[in-house]
Amino acid sequence: MLQTFEVANIRCGGCASTIRTALDDAGFNNVKVDLLSEPRKVSADIHDDKELERFKKVLRDHGYPLVDEAIGLLDSATLKAKSFVSCAVGKFSTEEEKK
């Protein structure tokens, strides 16, 4: 079932590219990143609680927690730093694909 979540720290197409690649690599289907909404939204087919936890972990591992997740100040700073790096990697990957 397609589910949509509000996700923090998404700023651009590089972020979206990183998220799509990470979720695709983790086996999620129908991954979409909405850059027009605020906060940004990410959708994917998620069928049960186990998949939902894996979805959240993949996002967090790249610096993109769900908006409604409770995170501390240190975690917030760490996740923002991770998302900055993930964004740069996503931009680089997107540019390489264009060549």
Kindly report the pTM of this predicted structure.
0.80
Given a contact cutoff of 8 angstroms between Cβ atoms, the answer to whether 26 and 95 are in contact is no
How far apart CA 49 and CA 40 sit, in angstroms, is 22
Is a pLDDT exceeding 80 seen at residue 90?
no
Number of domains in the chain: 1
d(CA 88, CA 78): 16
Q: Is residue 96's pLDDT more than 90? A: no
DSSP 29-56: -S-EEESSSSS-EEEEE--SHHHHHHHH
Q: Residue 97: what pLDDT? A: 57
pLDDT tens digits along 16-43: 999 999 999 999 999 999 999 999 999 9
Q: What's the pLDDT score for residue 68? A: 85
* Average pLDDT of the residues of the chain: 85
Can you give the CATH number for the domain in which 46 is found?
Answer: 3.30.70.100
Q: Which domain holds residue 81?
A: 2-98
Alpha carbons within 13 angstroms on the beta-carbon side of residue 8 total 19
